[in-house]
Amino acid sequence: MTAAQESRTRDIEANPYRPWPARITSITDLTDKEKLFELRIIDEDVREAFQFESGQFIELSIFGVGEAPVSISSAPSKQGFIELCIREAGDVTGAMHRKKCGDVVGLRGPYGRGFPFTEMKGHDVLLVAGGLGIAPLKSLINHIHDDRHEFGKVTILYGAKSPAEVLFRYQFDMWQHRDDFDLILTVDQPDETWTGETGLVTRLFDKIDVDPAITYGAICGPPVMYKYVIEEMRKKDMDVDRIYVSFERRMKCGIGKCGHCGVGHQYTCIDGPVFNYWEAMNLQGAI
Amino acid sequence: MFFRVIDKANLPDLVKGLTTEYEVVAPVAKGDTFVFAPVTDPGDIRLDYDTTLLPPKKYFFPPEETLMRFRVADNEVLDDDVFAAPRVLFGLHPCDINALQLMDNVFKGRYEDPYYLRRREQTLLIGVSCTPSDTCFCNVWETNEVHWGFDVFLTDLGDRYFASCRTVKGAEILDRFVANRQVDDTDTADFQRVVHAFRDAFDSTVDTTQLPVLLDAKFDSPIWDEFGDRCLSCGACSMVCPTCYCFNVEDRLEPDQKSGVRVRTWDSCQFKEFAAVAHGQNFRESRASRVKYRYYHKQWGYLSKFERVLCVGCGRCARACPAGINPVNVIAALQTGEVR
C-alpha cells in the first residue's frame, strides 16, 4: 500500500458512521413497488476497499432523510458496482425511489455475516425465497452461477404473491431454460397468463429430490415463512446446521451499537443477518 | 498500584488545581437529589451523595449529539469532527466506573465509535468510596469494588483519603495539586477496616444463579405479562441506566433544506417502535416482550459477548420507574415464579 492509500484506509475506518458517496448508474423497474438500483462508489480507494459476501448488507444513506439497511443483490464476483433491490416501504426507500440515474446517494458497509459460500462449494444447494426475500438470495444465486462448476445440483424455489410481483423475472426466464439450475416459481394468486405453479412455496417440496448428506439450504422471506420452509427441509432430513436463514430486523447502525436489531441474545447486524438453523433455534423469538 | 494519603482538609486544593486545566464535573445537590454538573467551587461538591439522577454516561454519550453535518445536493459530509475538551469526572462511585467499562466494550471493538472514545480519552476519572443506599445492589454483581478503569480512587478513612492511583496521569495530578504523603501501616489497616465495613453494609441479596439459562428456559413465563401490564413504556429505566447505550439516529435539515445535521439521541428498547421494521412488522410489539428483552439483553445477550452482565446494581432504574419495577424483584420473580 502506498502512503496515500494507507491514509485513505485510515479515513475510511476513522468514522464508521460516515457514508461514502455513490452514484446511481442504472435503475430498473422490477414491479410496481420494487426497483433495482446499480450503484458505483465514487471514491476509487473506497470502492476497492468495498469487498463483500453474499448475504451481507449496506446502510443506504440519503442525507436529510436518513439511513436504511439494504441487502446486496449482486454477486461479489461483479466488481465495482453494487446492486440493491429496493421496495418502497419507508422514508429512505421512498426517497430512493424518487432518485434518478446519475444522482448521488451514500452508503456504508458491507456489514454482517453472509452465507458460507466457500463452505457450500462442492455441495448441492437448495435456495428458497419468498417475496422480497429473493433480494439477498439473488446475490448468492449469481455468485454460484459465476462459479457454477464448483457446485453440485442447484435448486431454486421462489414464491411470490402474484405474477406481477415476481422479482427478477427476466433472469428467471433465462434460467428456466438452463439444465444446470432447477428453478420452480410459484404464485399465491395466479392470473390468466400464469402457467407456472400456484400456492405456497412449501408445496414445491413434493416436486424436488434432496440428498440431505450433501445439501445446503438457504432461506429468505417474510418472517412467517421460515418455520414452514425449515419444517420441509427437516422432513428431507437436512442437517440443522446446514440450513441457513437470513433475517430482516431494524439494523439502524449496522455495527452492533444502536441495539435496534437485537434478536435473542444476538444482534442481527453483526452476528447475522445470516444464521444457520441451529443458531436461529437458540435465538429466542427469532422464528 | 501507587498509593498516597490526602488529608480531607486539603481535598479542595486538588479540585482547585484541576479546574485550572480541566472542566471538573462532580456530584452537586439539586433540590432533594443529586446530579453530576460542572463545578468551579470545591464547596459545591457533595461527596456524601447517595446516587445521581443521571449517570455520568452523558459526558461520553450525550442524550443528543451531532454525528456530522451534511450537504443534501451531492450527499456529502461537510464535517464529522469530534470535539472533546479535557475534563475530570470527580467523585464517581465504583458502580459508575464499572459501568463505563461495560460501555467501553460496546463502543470499542471492530467498529470504534470515535465520538464516545475521543471523549473517553480526554477524560480523567476520580472515584470515591460510598455507602449503600436502599436501592443499591451492586454487591450482587460485585461491582461495589472497582479495580481498574479509574485514574485515582479515594477511599474515605474519616479524616483522610486513601488514594489509589491507577494511571500515571492520576499520580501526576495528585503530586501537582494537593499535599499528600506515603501510606503507612496504620493507613493500610484503616483502609482494610473501612472496606470490610463497606462490604458488610449491604443487605441486598438476589439469587442470580444460572440467570441466562432461566431466561431461556422460562422465556414464556407469565411473570413477563405481569411486569408488562405494569410497565408504562416510558423508557425512564434506560435513560437513567449507566449501561444502556441504545440510540436512534435522525437527520435534521436547516431551514434552507440544503444542508443539515445527522444527530443521534438516546433511545430505549422499551419504546414501542424500537424493533419495528419498515414494512410494518414489529418484532416486540407487546410491552411484556419489551420488558423481557431488557432483562434478556442485560443478563444474557451482553454476557454472551463480554462475559459480564450489563448491570452494575446502581438502583437508578428502581428509583426512576413510575410503575415501581425494580430489577431485584424481576430477577427474584424469574427464580421463584412469583411477582412481588
Given the cut 0.85, state whether the ipTM is greater than it.
Answer: yes
- List chain A residues with CB under 8 Å of B303: 265
The dihedral region occupied by B337, where left means phi > 0, alpha psi between -120 and 50, and beta the remainder, is left
Minimum distance, in Å, between the CA of residue A154 and any CA atom of chain B? 30
Please tell me the predicted confidence (pLDDT) of residue A179. 81
Asked if B245 lies within 8 A of A104 by C-beta distance, the reply is no
Q: Average the pLDDT over A163-179 and give the result.
A: 85
Cα–Cα distance for residue pair B108/B122, rounded to 1 Å: 15
Contacts of B197 (CB under 8 A, 6+ apart): none
Burial class (CB in 10 A: 0-12, 13-18, 19+), A222: middle
C-alpha A177: how far from chain center? 23
Q: Average the pLDDT over B209-223 and give the result.
A: 94
3-state secondary structure chain B: CEEEEEEHHHHHHHHHHHHCCCEEEEEEEECCEEEEEEECCHHHCCCCCCCCCCCHHHHCCCCEEEEEEEECCCCEEEECCCCCCCEEEEEECHHHHHHHHHHHHHHCCCCCCHHHHHHHHCEEEEEECCCCCCCCCHHHHCCCCCCCCCCEEEEECCCEEEEEECCHHHHHHHHHHCCCECCCHHHHHHHHHHHHHHHHCCCCCCCCCCHHHHHHHCCCCCHHHHHHHHCCCCCHHHHCCCCCCCEEEEEEECCCCCEEEEEEEECCCCCCCCCECCCCCECCCCHHHHHHHHHHHHHHHHHHHHCCCCCCCCCHHHHHCCCCCCHHHHHHHHHHCCCC
Cell 427478477, located at residue = A168
Q: Average the pLDDT over A13-39 and give the result.
A: 95
- List chain B residues with CB under 8 Å of A265: 212, 296-297, 300-301, 303-304
Whether A94 contacts chain B with CB within 8 A: no
Please tell me the predicted confidence (pLDDT) of residue A173. 80
Give which of A10, A13, A17, A281 to mutate to test B binding, by max B Cβ within 10 Å: A17
Q: Average the pLDDT over B123-134 and give the result.
A: 96
B54-110: per-residue pLDDT in tens?
999 999 999 999 999 999 999 999 999 888 999 999 999 999 999 999 999 999 999
- List chain B residues with CB under 8 Å of A106: 75
Query: CA-nearest residue of chain B to A102?
Result: B74
Please tell me the predicted confidence (pLDDT) of residue A6. 65
Asked if A14 lies within 8 A of B70 by C-beta distance, the reply is no
Please tell me the predicted confidence (pLDDT) of residue A33. 93
Please tell me the predicted confidence (pLDDT) of residue A203. 95
- List chain A residues with CB under 8 Å of B107: 257
Q: Is the pLDDT of residue B203 over 90?
A: no
Whether A253 contacts chain B with CB within 8 A: yes
Of A145-154, B200-209, B328-337, least confident by mean pLDDT is: B200-209
Q: Average the pLDDT over B2-27 and give the result.
A: 97
A76-125: per-residue pLDDT in tens?
999 999 999 999 999 999 999 999 999 999 999 999 999 999 999 999 99
Give which of A15, A57, A63 to mutate to test B binding, by max B Cβ within 10 Å: A63
Q: Is the pLDDT of residue A1 over 60?
A: no
Average pLDDT, rounded, for chain B: 95
Under the banding of pLDDT at 50, 70 and 90, the label for residue A54 is very high
Q: Which of B316, B313, B312, B318 is nearest to B101 (CA)?
A: B312
- List chain A residues with CB under 8 Å of B262: 17, 63
Q: Which three cell numbers stand for residue A28?
A: 430498473
Please tell me the predicted confidence (pLDDT) of residue A8. 61
Report the DSSP beta bridge partners of residue A37.
A27, A84
Asked if A63 lies within 8 A of B250 by C-beta distance, the reply is no
Cα separation values, B84 from B23, B77, B225, Å: 11, 20, 44
Please tell me the predicted confidence (pLDDT) of residue A7. 63
- List chain A residues with CB under 8 Å of B251: 63-66
Cell 502506498, located at residue = A2
Whether A223 contacts chain B with CB within 8 A: yes
Minimum distance, in Å, between the CA of residue B328 and any CA atom of chain A? 21
Asked if B250 lies within 8 A of A66 by C-beta distance, the reply is yes
Cell 419489551, located at residue = B290
Under the banding of pLDDT at 50, 70 and 90, the label for residue A4 is low
Q: Average the pLDDT over B175-198 and give the result.
A: 96
Whether A59 contacts chain B with CB within 8 A: no
A248-281: per-residue pLDDT in tens?
999 999 999 999 999 999 999 999 999 999 999 9
Direct distance between the N- and C-terminal alpha carbons of chain B, in angstroms, rounded to an integer: 44
Q: Is the pLDDT of residue B204 over 90?
A: no
C-alpha A163: how far from chain center? 21
B271-325: per-residue pLDDT in tens?
999 999 887 789 999 999 999 999 999 999 999 999 999 999 999 999 999 999 9
Asked if A258 lies within 8 A of B267 by C-beta distance, the reply is yes
Cα–Cα distance for residue pair A72/B300, rounded to 1 Å: 31
Q: Is the pLDDT of residue A175 over 90?
A: no
Please tell me the predicted confidence (pLDDT) of residue A3. 65
Cα–Cα distance for residue pair B338/B139, rounded to 1 Å: 23
Q: Is the pLDDT of residue A2 over 90?
A: no
Q: Is the pLDDT of residue A5 over 70?
A: no
Please tell me the predicted confidence (pLDDT) of residue A116. 98
Q: Average the pLDDT over A12-40 and give the result.
A: 94
